[in-house]
Amino acid sequence: MVESQIVARGVEAPAVIDAMRRVPRHEFVSDAYRASAYDDRPLPIEDGQTISQPYIVALMTELADVQRGETVLEVGTGSGYQAAVLAALGARVFSVEIMPGLAASARARLERLKYGVEVKHGDGYAGWPEHAPFDAIIITAAPPNVPAPLVQQLAVGGKLVVPVGRGSQDLWVWTRTQSGLDKRNVLPVRFVPMTGQAQQ
């Protein structure tokens, strides 16, 4: 998976490649899809959601430029796979999931696999201000616009990686600088819509 789907497509960061090798993706999919766990495609998980394809997880992780010991917020825990990859980089990871069943199952899975991720049920639109500022924020569902509270919780030098749009979506990286925000459009993507306040 790592060689053919991630390295071959341009992901270069050694720490990200190592984390993708070490996190067992089959632990984050249902038994019915375990045989496909290392295919380069999204797979269904509970509550009508999906686990992103490995390449997109690796790309978003590389774009976030997470360093060991940094504090990271993930919005949209899902099965917990992206959070596990971030934790495997040595980050302190906080993850918010709007669906209570998914939050509970991801928390239990991450605890069982000893990733040390803190998961809470809630609307990720508001972020997690108690643990801000964050050195990186990754959003794994697509809002129509970037949520202002998340921008406010980004540390100077921090990167916000987010798919934006309804229907047609683009993956953006916003970097907070001393003078404002540097915004870069990376590539077209397809994510489930961000629900909750983002829909209003």
Domain boundaries, the chain: 2-199
* pLDDT over 90 (residue 167): no
| Residue 200 pLDDT | 82
pLDDT given at position 153 = 98
Residue 168: band (very low, low, confident or very high) from pLDDT cuts 50, 70, 90: confident
Q: Which of 150, 83, 161, 105 is nearest to 123 (CA)?
A: 150
Please check the confidence at residue 199 and state whether its pLDDT lies above 90.
Answer: no
Catalytic site residues?
A: 52
Residues of the chain with pLDDT > 70: what percent? Answer: 100
The answer, yes or no, to whether residue 47 has pLDDT greater than 90, is: no
Residue 143's pLDDT is what?
A: 97
* Domain 2-199 class, CATH top level: alpha beta
- pLDDT, tens digit, for every residue of 62-84? 999 999 999 999 999 999 999 99
**Model confidence pLDDT, tens digit, residues 87-114:** 999 999 999 999 999 999 999 999 999 9
User: What average pLDDT is seen over the chain?
Assistant: 96
Q: Tell me: pLDDT of 184 over 90.
A: yes
